[in-house]
């Protein structure tokens, strides 16, 4: 396996062979690279929904997305689509997937089905690097804080509401809320990282939104400083696997008039600590 770093985080993997036929040793090597680089990419994966599910199970247990039904034959594969006539993209804000759940996913796997002729890249930010760059005084301030995460923030729900009208789950709650530490410990590596994001984190526990806004605003901007990020340009069939416990991601909305279609699988995680 060859590894090419893309930025502060992220690595493109090659010389893997067919992803449908990976040996256990190769799966362990991919997981090791993923834990080190926090997001890994494979070009020309071209996995069918069935093969995508099989690949996902090599790394964890697929879980449902709480708001939308998945594909009819593969309910844990969620369609992420922006149609050519739409101007707002799904999840078009810096975020960590479903941090409003009591046990957010440990990982997300995304594969490109249809890509626009230009644009549509995804940015990733390393929350472990962001935490390490803070002053000792700020770390002391944050280490014991908890934050409230909500599924109902307006910027994060704009296109979700359109998709819910099309294929929303009948058992979805009106709002999901979860309290998580502002600084979490990675259960596999022991690394410490920030765990807040502008899509879902609304306030600190025990504080109002107004009281929380100045510090949260600083942290949101700090987390996505260029020196903590990488950028991936998609091609048809490309696959990404990112660690949802220590990264943020942002799909760039710069391809109006063109369709972009991805398939996503999220893998079960644990309660942050």
Report yes or no: 99 and 195 within 8 Å, Cβ to Cβ. yes
Token readout for 207 is 């504080």
In-domain check, residue 271: no
Range of the domain at 106: 2-266
Q: Is the per-residue pLDDT at 220 higher than 90? A: yes
Average pLDDT over every residue of 212-237 = 98
In-domain check, residue 247: yes
- Helices assigned H by DSSP within 58-202: 127-132, 136-143, 154-167
In-domain check, residue 272: no
pLDDT digits (tens, 9 = 90+) for 7-30: 999 999 999 999 999 999 999 999
User: Tell me, what's the pLDDT at 153?
Assistant: 78
**Pairing, β 247-251 against β 177-181:** unpaired
pLDDT digits (tens, 9 = 90+) for 133-181: 999 999 999 999 999 999 997 555 555 555 555 556 567 777 999 999 9
CA atoms within a 13 Å half-sphere pointing along the CA-CB vector of 62: 21
In-domain check, residue 83: yes
Instruction: Mean pLDDT check: name the lowest of 85-94, 199-208, 232-241.
Output: 85-94
Confidence tier at 2 by pLDDT (50, 70, 90) = very high
Three-state DSSP state, 159? helix
pLDDT digits (tens, 9 = 90+) for 81-95: 999 999 999 889 999
Report yes or no: 56 and 109 within 8 Å, Cβ to Cβ. yes
Residues involved in catalysis: 95, 97, 249, 264
**What is the CATH number for 240?**
3.60.130.10
Report yes or no: 26 and 18 within 8 Å, Cβ to Cβ. no
pLDDT digits (tens, 9 = 90+) for 31-83: 999 999 999 999 999 999 999 999 999 999 999 999 889 999 999 999 999 99
- How many structural domains does the chain have? 1
Confidence tier at 208 by pLDDT (50, 70, 90) = very high
Q: Is the per-residue pLDDT at 259 higher than 60? A: yes
pLDDT digits (tens, 9 = 90+) for 241-258: 999 999 999 999 999 999
In-domain check, residue 177: yes
User: Under 8 Å CB-to-CB from 131, ≥6 apart: which residues?
Assistant: 139, 183, 192, 193, 194
Cα torsion at 127, 129, 132, 137 (round to 10°)?
-50
Provide the whole-model pTM.
0.93
In whole angstroms, what is the distance from residue 204 CA to residue 210 CA? 10
In whole angstroms, what is the distance from residue 170 CA to residue 73 CA? 18
pLDDT digits (tens, 9 = 90+) for 98-147: 999 999 999 999 999 999 999 999 999 999 999 999 999 999 999 999 99
User: Tell me, what's the pLDDT at 86?
Assistant: 95
DSSP annotation of 122 reads E
Report yes or no: 115 and 236 within 8 Å, Cβ to Cβ. yes
User: Tell me, what's the pLDDT at 184?
Assistant: 98
In-domain check, residue 185: yes
Dihedral sign, Cα of residue 92, residue 98, residue 104, residue 106 = negative
In-domain check, residue 54: yes
């Amino acid at each position: 396996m060859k590894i090419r770093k893309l930025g502060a985080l992220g690595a493109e993997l090659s010389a893997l062979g067919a992803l449908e036929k990976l040996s256990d040793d190769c799966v362990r090597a991919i997981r090791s690279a993923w834990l080190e680089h926090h997001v890994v990419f494979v070009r020309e994966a071209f996995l069918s929904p069935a093969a995508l599910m099989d690949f996902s199970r090599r790394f964890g247990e697929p879980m449902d997305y709480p708001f939308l039904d998945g594909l009819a034959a593969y309910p844990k594969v969620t369609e992420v689509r922006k149609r050519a006539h739409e101007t707002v993209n799904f999840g078009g804000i810096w975020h960590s997937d479903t941090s409003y759940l009591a046990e957010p996913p440990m990982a997300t796997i995304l594969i490109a089905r249809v890509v626009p002729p230009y644009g549509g890249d995804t940015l990733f930010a390393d929350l472990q690097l962001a935490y390490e760059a803070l002053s000792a005084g700020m770390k002391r301030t944050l280490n014991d804080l908890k934050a409230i995460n909500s599924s109902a923030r307006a910027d994060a729900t704009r296109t979700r509401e359109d998709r819910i009208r099309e294929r929303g789950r009948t058992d979805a709650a009106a709002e999901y809320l979860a309290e998580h530490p502002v600084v979490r410990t990675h259960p596999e590596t022991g690394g410490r990282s920030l765990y807040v994001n502008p899509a879902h984190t609304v306030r600190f526990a025990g504080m109002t939104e107004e009281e929380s806004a100045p510090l949260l605003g600083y942290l949101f901007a700090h987390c996505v400083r260029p020196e903590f990020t990488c950028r991936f340009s998609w091609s048809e069939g490309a696959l990404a696997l990112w660690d949802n416990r220590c990264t943020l991601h942002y799909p760039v909305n710069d391809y109006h008039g063109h369709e972009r279609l991805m398939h996503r699988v999220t893998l079960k995680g644990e309660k942050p600590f």
